[in-house]
Amino acid sequence: MAMAGEDANAMRALRGLENDDSSVRLKAAMAVGTTPDPKFVGPLIERCAVEPEFFVRDMLTWALTRHPSSMTVPRLIDELRSERAQARSQALHTLSKIGDRRAWPAITRSLLTDADADGEVARSAWRAAVVLVPEGEESGLAEVLATQLGRGERATRLSLSRALIALGEVIMPVLRPAMKDPDPGVRQHAIATERLLRDPDAGFEFAVEEAKRLVALGTTGQEGG
């Protein structure tokens, strides 16, 4: 009887993930994460790809982290090949939260430079990459990330700067040439990132304004250094 009751609860939770009411979906995701079961992994990942509410997606990710990575990571890696941008970005976000480095080979250059319209896939890939990168491969990752300097609006640029800074001093060999790039947007972004690496308390807006001033003056602030 207990088993039948558990199955009924599981079915209710799975149905709840499809409910029109976002608060019901949130509670369902919480229930699934509270009582993990292998049968939940597929439906959770499928829901991540289509869930419109950020706070529900975050709970879906939490629920997935409650399941063994041996079950979730292979399925999430499969999602990285999805044609749906949200499926790719949410799978990347979830992989970054799980932190299993077996997923590292799946963080490809195409994901790190993904051209989806709002940049969410690339931002998720950057965050996942700096969590999963194996020791000794940070420089190679920095080289790929540096190709994205100057991309997008403030949120995208801040996300890239944070990812680069998380790698530490290994980013300087790729930042220095970018600080003299012919594209003023690339130069500004590289200079702002270098400022934040040196002074994390400065704040992104201050670093950007300082970078704009230096670009306007035709200097990177590195002359003689």
For 51-96, how does the pLDDT look when each residue is reduced to its tens digit (9 = 90+)?
Answer: 999 999 999 999 999 999 999 999 999 999 999 999 999 999 999 9
3-class SS shares of the chain: helix, strand, coil, % to 5:
70, 0, 30
Report the alpha-carbon distance of residue 140 to residue 142 in Å, rounded: 5
pLDDT score for 225: 40
Percent of the chain with pLDDT over 90: 77
Residue 124 clears pLDDT 70, i.e. is over it: yes
Report the alpha-carbon distance of residue 13 to residue 31 in Å, rounded: 7
pTM of the model: 0.87
Nearest to 100 by CA among 73, 134, 67: 73
Per the listing, tokens 């949200």 go with 86
Structure tokens at 35: 């009582």
pLDDT score for 100: 97
Report the alpha-carbon distance of residue 182 to residue 5 in Å, rounded: 66
Ranges of each domain in the chain? 133-225
What type of residue sits at position 154?
R
Which residues lie below 8 Å from residue 159, measured CB to CB, with a gap of 6+? 123, 126, 127
For 135-190, how does the pLDDT look when each residue is reduced to its tens digit (9 = 90+)?
Answer: 999 999 999 999 999 999 988 999 999 999 999 999 999 999 999 999 999 999 99
Report the alpha-carbon distance of residue 189 to residue 211 in Å, rounded: 7
pLDDT score for 2: 46
Torsion of CA 21, 85, 48, 123, to 10 degrees: -110
